[in-house]
Structure 1
Amino acid sequence: MLILASRSKARKRILKDLGLKFKVMPSSAEEHKGLDTHPARTVKYNALLKARQVAGRIKDGIVIGCDTLVWQNGRVFGKPKDLKDARTMLKKLSASPHRLYTGIAVIDVKRRKEVVDIEETKIFMERLSDREISNYFKRVSPLDKAGGFDIQGLGGLFIKRIEGCYFNVVGLPVSKLFVCLKKIGASLLMLFCAVTFYGCSTEYNIASNSQDWMMYSTEKEVAMGDSLSKQVEKEYKVVHDPEANERLRRIGEKIASVCDRKELLYRFRIIEDEKEKDMVNAVSLPGGYVYVYKELMKVADSDDELAAVLGHEVAHIAARHSIKRLQAIWGYNILSVLAAGTRNPDFAHGAQAAYLSILSGYSQEDELLADKLGARYTRRAGYDPGAMLSFLEKLRKRHKKEKPRALSYFKTHPFISERIKVTKEELGEKISFEDFININ
C-alpha cells in the first residue's frame, strides 16, 4: 500500500493522474522552520520527519513524505500566513529568480528501509503588478501553496520559464520519486513504467521533420480536442457574427488545405472574454480546433494578417505542439480523461488543467517553428506571409499602452523579437539589429 503523508491537493492529484492507488495519512509532525540552515537541508529533514511520523503508526506500507520551501536571496518562503503575507511574498518572488526545493522521503515500513532525496528547480517569473496579484487571488487561494502561487493553474501564466523539474514546482517531483522507490526496491516502479509507456509509439512528423514519441493516435487526439473545446465554449462567449465567421472560415480553410496535416477537420471559431472584451489573442487545441478572440479579428484588419495568424495556429496543430506539451506535463492518465470525454467524472478538472497548460505558452523552439511553418502555409494559400510582421508590430505598440493581463497575446505567445527575426529569415528579408535584441 502506498501512503501519502500529506494533505496537499496537488500531490494527491499527481499520484492520481499517474494511475496509482494510494491512501492519504497526513503527518502531525511539527516542521522545522529552517531559519538557520540551507533550505535543501531543511526540506530533507522535514520530509523524513513527516514520513517517519506516519510510518510509526502503521505496520506495513510505503510512506511518501514531502516538504517544499522557496528560497530567494537568502530568504526562505513557505506557505503564506494570510492574504497580506501572500501578496508581499508573491510581489518579492516575481521581482527576481528564485529556487524551489522539495525534500522527498520514502519509507518501506515492513522492510525498514528509508531513502531521502531532494529536487531543486529555478523559477523565473514575470514582474507582477498589484492589480495582477489581486486578480489572481480572486480566483486562486494562495494560502496552501509555498510561495503563494500554483504553476499548474492560473499561476502558470506568470512563469517565464523554469530550470529543472516541472512537477517539483507542482508539489511532487515524480522523477525523484521514481529514484527513491527504486532505491528501496519497491515493485511499484514497474507500475509507474506501465502507466507511463503503455500504448506509446513513434511516428514521423512531416511538419516538424522529426520522429515524434506519441501516446495517442490522431483519433484520440481529436477526442481530446473535442473535450477541450467544450471547456473553452463553456468559459467564453462564442460569437455568432455571420460575416466575421464567414471571413474566418474562408481564410482558415485555405490555410488548412495547404498545411502538413490534412487528415484533420479544422474548426475555426470566434470567442470573446466578456470580462475583458478588448482581449487580443488566438489559441489552437489538439485535433484541429482554432479559437480567435473577437478583438483580434478587428486588429488583423486585412485578410493577409488574419491568414498569417491562422497559419501560425494551424502550424502548432500540424506539429502537434499542444498534444506534446500536454503529454509532457500531464502524462498518460490525464490525457485518458480528456480522450474519454464527459463520461469520465474527472473530465472538468482535466479539461481545465490542460487548457491552462496550453494557454501558458509554448517553448521558444515551438513558437519559432510555428512561425516558419505559418509563413510557409500563408504563402501556399495565396496570402502575403509578411503580414505577420505588420501584425506583430501592431501588437507591440498596443502592448505598450494596455494594462497588464495574464492572457494577452504577448504573455501566451512570447519571444516576439526572436519570432520577428525568424519570420524575416523564412521570408528572405533583411534583418535589422533590433531583431537580435529583446525589445518586447
Structure 2
Amino acid sequence: MASRHIILASTSPRRQELIASLRVPFEIMPSDASEEISSGLEPEQIVEILSLRKANTVYRKLSEANKHGIVVGSDTIVVLEGDVLGKPVDDQDAVRMLSLLQGRTHKVYSGVACVDVVTGQSIVRHRVTSVSMKPLNHEQIMSYVRSGEPSDKAGAYAIQGLGACIVDSIEGDYFNVVGLPISLLSDMLSQMGMDVLSSF
C-alpha cells in the first residue's frame, strides 16, 4: 500500500478535492480522451465507457514507465426522463437545461474506472443518485447562470457550490452528484489491493 498511488485521469478541481480526501498519494494526468459516444446507449453504458476510455488513455501513457499506481477515470451525466444533459455549450444552453430541471426530479449517473498500471487489470462501475430541484422562476435561473458556475457542469449546476440553493433534496450518494462516488471508488481500490482505510 505504501508504494502505491492514484493517477487521476481528470483536470476537474472537484474530483481532485475528493481524491485528496482519501489521504492517499495521487497525481493528476489529464486524459484528453474523446467524449464522443455512439447513440442509443443507456446512461450507465455512457458513463462506464467514457470512464474506462479516460483511464485507458492515461494507462497507455504510463505502462512503459511501469509506475506502480492505479489510474482512476470518471464521467458524470445528468438524465431527465431519458434525455442526457451534458455540459452546457453556452449561457443560453445553461438556461435551457435549468429551465427543464427546475421543479422536477432527475438522475445523476457517475461512472468510475480503475486500471492497475502494473497488471493492466481494470474494474468499471457506476452509481446513480436522484436529485429533486426547487421550482425556479426565470430571474432566479438567469441570476444563477450569471454567477458563471454552470458553465462546465453536467446539467448546468454544481451541488457543492451555489447550486446547493436550487436543489431541494437528493436520494443516494451526494458525492456521486459532485462527480466522483468516493464510497464506490474505495471499494474498487480495495479490490485492487489498495485499502484506503488500512493506510493509517
Partners in 1 of 2:40 and 2:103 — Cα distance?
24
Equivalent of 2:26, from 17, 22, 39?
Answer: 22
Shift of the 47–63 alpha-carbon distance from structure 1 to 2, 3 Å rule, reads same
| Structure 1 position 96, deviation (Å) | 1.6
| Structure 1 position 104, deviation (Å) | 0.2
Q: Which consecutive aligned stretches of 4+ in structure 1 deviate over 3 angstroms post-superposition? A: 32-35
Q: Tell me, yes or no, if structure 1 residue 75 matches structure 2 residue 83.
A: yes
8 A contact 1:69–1:78 mirrored in 2? yes
| Amino acid corresponding to residue 134 of structure 1 in structure 2 | M
Equivalent of 1:41, from 41, 45, 55?
Answer: 45
Q: Bigger radius of gyration, 1 or 2?
A: 1
| Structure 1 position 140, deviation (Å) | 3.6
SS at match of 1:134: helix
| Amino acid corresponding to residue 161 of structure 1 in structure 2 | S
Corresponding position of 2:124? 116
Corresponding position of 1:289? none
| Structure 1 position 11, deviation (Å) | 0.5
| Structure 1 position 130, deviation (Å) | 1.4
* Runs of at least 5 residues in structure 2 that lack an aligned partner in the other structure: none
Partners in 2 of 1:187 and 1:73 — Cα distance?
37
Superposed CA offset, 1:278-328 (max 9, x none): xxxxxxxxxxxxxxxxxxxxxxxxxxxxxxxxxxxxxxxxxxxxxxxxxxx
Partners in 2 of 1:71 and 1:33 — Cα distance?
15
Shift of the 189–56 alpha-carbon distance from structure 1 to 2, 3 Å rule, reads farther
Equivalent of 2:175, from 128, 151, 167?
Answer: 167
Length, aligned pairs only: 192
8 A contact 2:87–2:151 mirrored in 1? yes
Partners in 1 of 2:61 and 2:126 — Cα distance?
25
From the two aligned structures, give the one with the greater strand fraction.
Answer: 2
| Structure 1 position 34, deviation (Å) | 5.2
| Amino acid corresponding to residue 40 of structure 1 in structure 2 | E
* Runs of at least 5 residues in structure 1 that lack an aligned partner in the other structure: 195-440
SS at match of 2:168: strand
Q: Tell me, yes or no, if structure 1 residue 147 matches structure 2 residue 155.
A: yes
Q: Percent identity?
A: 39
SS at match of 2:151: coil
Greater RCO, CA 8 A, separation 6+: 2
| Amino acid corresponding to residue 16 of structure 1 in structure 2 | A
8 A contact 2:149–2:158 mirrored in 1? no
| Amino acid corresponding to residue 44 of structure 1 in structure 2 | E
RMSD over aligned CA atoms reads: 1.4
SS at match of 2:39: coil
1:2-401 to 2 correspondences below 5 Å: 2-33=6-37, 35-58=39-62, 59-60=66-67, 61-191=69-199, 194=200
Partners in 2 of 1:33 and 1:121 — Cα distance?
22
Superposed CA offset, 1:245-292 (max 9, x none): xxxxxxxxxxxxxxxxxxxxxxxxxxxxxxxxxxxxxxxxxxxxxxxx
Shift of the 10–151 alpha-carbon distance from structure 1 to 2, 3 Å rule, reads same
8 A contact 1:182–1:189 mirrored in 2? no
| Structure 1 position 156, deviation (Å) | 0.7
Corresponding position of 1:309? none
8 A contact 2:94–2:145 mirrored in 1? no
Partners in 2 of 1:78 and 1:19 — Cα distance?
30
8 A contact 1:32–1:42 mirrored in 2? no
1:392-431 to 2 correspondences below 5 Å: none
From the two aligned structures, give the one with the greater helix fraction.
Answer: 1
8 A contact 2:8–2:29 mirrored in 1? yes
Normalised by the size of structure 2, how large is the TM-score? 0.90
Shift of the 76–161 alpha-carbon distance from structure 1 to 2, 3 Å rule, reads same
